[in-house]
């Protein structure tokens, strides 16, 4: 018995020793984890502070340590500005990026910048970027040449654009492809220069380059808008004759829009049936085109049928759908339906656009024209304020002309509403000119000194 107690006592002591050892190990582990957490927290704070410092430098709030900015933050800032087409700000960020110690020339970044300035109608800036790209030793390929060509094409500088096309033909691995030609064709079609388009199509054929679906759809859409229906149909036939170039929903929509906009409703309906029988599924744009065509031709019964079909097959309405239907009811003088749709639009969390507002106001004006209601400055001030809040500056300016035609003079409220609208968008020049009018002694004769914007 004594021997057993002796053994149990030793085991107990050993157990206590083991427990203390485990406790020390656990405490050491917890201490290290706590230290690591503090280090991680400090690193996170450091990164956040550096990101904020980088953003501050980009926004010109600070100017220290500008060569050690965080790459990710600078690239995010650049991407954000490119996406928003803020070309001047984007180029400033790019220059800041080029000053960084970590900067390495990248062809993809240059191409994105060239495309951006091209969209902003800045072809000379595109040329400067293209040259900088070459000077920095970047690989120049078909994509970069096409981006430069597109920049000149968008600004209708076709002599330069065609010159770049010739340069591409004579540059190894930069020969133009169907994408290059399609972009230049689209630029020519923007100004309805069909002669240049035919030259480009002939040039493509001579080099064995076949038009693709995008090329054909661009042509069909342009011919339709120009009401060149024979050419549009011939292009569609050519598309059908070519292998691996089947019409799609874009082809369908362009064709329907062309006939619908010109009032050829029966032809539009026949085309719809043919496209549908060919297995092409309509999309929301298709139904918007049908609704708009039926609305403008005052065929409200078929318009209602389209709406029922959309509801049956769960096609969600877009801002365009609402605008089209609101405009149709406005033409019919049904203000109650317009008001109902406007409320439904807000319920669907769809923000009204300038087009929505114009349709509502035009309907009210049509109603007033057919009544004995006398328009006054207060009414027009409400229009100015409404357009200003929506950012519809062209329409807001148009109210001044409408006031003049109705014999109403703008007052201080009119111009203050305009000043507030311009101020909200940072349009300082317009604000300054209007403020000068308000502060001048010429206020009684504002009608004669109406600002030119």
Instruction: Quote the pLDDT of residue 352.
Output: 85
pLDDT digits (tens, 9 = 90+) for 323-363: 999 999 988 888 888 989 989 998 999 988 888 888 888 88
pLDDT digits (tens, 9 = 90+) for 233-243: 999 999 999 88
pLDDT higher than 70, residue 421: yes
Q: What is the full DSSP assignment across 68-115?
A: S--HHHHHHHHHHHHHTT-HHHHHHHHHHHHTSTT----HHHHHHHHH
More confident residue, 404 or 39: 404
Q: At what angle do helices 142-154 and 178-190 cross, to 10 degrees?
A: 10
- pLDDT-derived band at 447 (thresholds 50, 70, 90) equals very low
Q: What is the mean pLDDT of the chain?
A: 85
CA 335 remoteness from chain centre:
32
- pLDDT-derived band at 36 (thresholds 50, 70, 90) equals low
pLDDT higher than 70, residue 450: no
Please tell me whether residue 129 adopts helix, strand or coil conformation. helix
- Is the whole-model pTM more than 0.85? no
pLDDT higher than 70, residue 379: yes
Q: What is the full DSSP assignment across 365-427?
A: HHHHHTS-PPP-HHHHHHHHHHHHHHT-HHHHHHHHHHHHHTT----HHHHHHHHHHHHHTT-
200-219 average pLDDT score: 96
Report which of 145, 140, 141, 98 is spatially closest to residue 126, judged by C-alpha positions: 145
Instruction: Quote the pLDDT of residue 231.
Output: 96
- pLDDT-derived band at 262 (thresholds 50, 70, 90) equals very high
Spatial separation of the C-alpha atoms in residues 368 and 449, rounded to whole Å: 29
Spatial separation of the C-alpha atoms in residues 89 and 69, rounded to whole Å: 17
Spatial separation of the C-alpha atoms in residues 160 and 168, rounded to whole Å: 12
pLDDT digits (tens, 9 = 90+) for 75-95: 999 999 999 999 999 999 999
Integer CA distances (angstroms), 80 to 85, 90, 202, 290, in order: 9, 8, 40, 36
- pLDDT-derived band at 232 (thresholds 50, 70, 90) equals very high
């Amino acid at each position: 018995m004594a021997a057993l107690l002796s053994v149990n006592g030793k085991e107990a002591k050993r157990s206590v020793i083991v427990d203390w050892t485990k406790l020390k190990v656990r405490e050491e582990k917890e201490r290290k984890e706590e230290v690591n957490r503090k280090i991680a927290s400090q690193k996170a704070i450091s990164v956040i502070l550096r990101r904020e410092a980088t953003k501050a430098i980009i926004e010109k709030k600070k100017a220290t340590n500008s060569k050690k900015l965080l790459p990710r933050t600078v690239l995010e800032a650049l991407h954000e500005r490119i996406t928003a087409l803020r070309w001047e700000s984007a180029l400033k960020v790019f220059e800041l990026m080029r000053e960084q110690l970590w900067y390495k020339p990248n062809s993809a970044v240059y191409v994105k910048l060239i495309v951006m300035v091209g969209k902003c109608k800045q072809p000379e800036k595109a040329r400067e970027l293209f040259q900088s790209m070459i000077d920095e030793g970047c690989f120049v390929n078909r994509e970069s040449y096409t981006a430069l060509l597109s920049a000149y094409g968008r600004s209708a500088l076709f002599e330069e654009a065609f010159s770049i096309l010739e340069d591409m033909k004579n540059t190894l691995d930069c020969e133009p492809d169907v994408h290059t030609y399609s972009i230049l064709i689209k630029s020519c079609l923007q100004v309805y220069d069909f002669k240049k388009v035919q030259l480009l199509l002939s040039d493509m054929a001579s080099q064995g380059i076949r038009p693709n679906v995008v090329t054909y759809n661009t042509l069909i859409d342009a011919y339709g808008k120009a009401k060149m229906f024979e050419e549009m149909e011939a292009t569609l036939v050519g598309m059908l004759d070519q292998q691996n170039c089947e019409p799609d929903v874009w082809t369908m929509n362009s064709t329907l829009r062309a006939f619908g906009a010109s009032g050829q409703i029966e032809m539009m309906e026949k085309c719809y049936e043919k496209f549908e029988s060919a297995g092409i599924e309509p999309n929301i744009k298709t139904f918007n085109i049908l609704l708009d065509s039926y609305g403008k031709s005052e065929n409200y019964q078929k318009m209602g049928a389209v709406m029922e079909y959309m509801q049956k097959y769960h096609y969600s309405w877009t801002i365009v759908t609402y605008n089209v239907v609101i405009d149709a009811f406005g033409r019919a003088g049904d203000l109650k339906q317009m008001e109902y749709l406007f409320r439904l639009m807000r319920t669907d969390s769809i923000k009204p656009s300038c087009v929505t507002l114009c349709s509502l106001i035009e309907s009210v004006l049509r109603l007033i024209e057919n009544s004995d209601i006398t328009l006054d400055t207060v009414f027009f001030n409400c229009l100015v304020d409404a357009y200003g809040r929506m950012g519809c500056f062209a329409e807001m300016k148009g109210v001044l002309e409408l006031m003049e035609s109705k014999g109403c003079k703008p007052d201080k409220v009119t111009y203050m509403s305009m000043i507030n609208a311009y101020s909200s968008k940072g349009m300082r020049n317009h604000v300054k000119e209007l403020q000068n009018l308000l502060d001048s002694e010429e206020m009684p004769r504002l009608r004669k000194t109406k600002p030119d914007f």
